[in-house]
């Protein structure tokens, strides 16, 4: 996978509400509009809280399990 150009937001180690607060801040803060963003988390509840917030902002979400207790959520602008 050529993931080099995909920007990464690493919120591993953070618990609720920070994964979604930081994701929202990043999505809302960029004026040019982020096309794609990988969010790395090790907090399972974030998998059910970040996607609805991203979808509300017009992103689709794909979740991959990276290993024990770690996930990557790829947000792509629809």
Per rule CB under 8 A, count of chain residues that contact another protein? 31
- In the chain, the N- to C-terminal Cα span, in Å, equals 21
By CB under 8 A, tell whether 52 contacts another protein: yes
By CB under 8 A, tell whether 23 contacts another protein: no
16 is catalytic: yes
Residue 45 vs residues 1, 6, 19: alpha-carbon distances, Å: 26, 24, 9
Choose, from 16, 36, 55, 63, the residue flagged as catalytic. 16
Cβ proximity to another protein, 22 vs 34, nearer residue: 22
């Amino acid at each position: 996978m050529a993931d080099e150009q995909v920007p990464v937001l690493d919120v591993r180690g953070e618990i609720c509400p920070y994964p979604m607060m930081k994701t929202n801040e990043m999505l809302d803060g960029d004026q040019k509009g982020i096309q794609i963003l990988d969010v790395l988390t090790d907090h399972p509840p974030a998998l059910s809280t970040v996607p609805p917030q991203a979808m509300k902002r017009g992103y689709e979400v794909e979740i991959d399990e990276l290993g024990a207790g770690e996930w990557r959520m790829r947000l792509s602008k629809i």
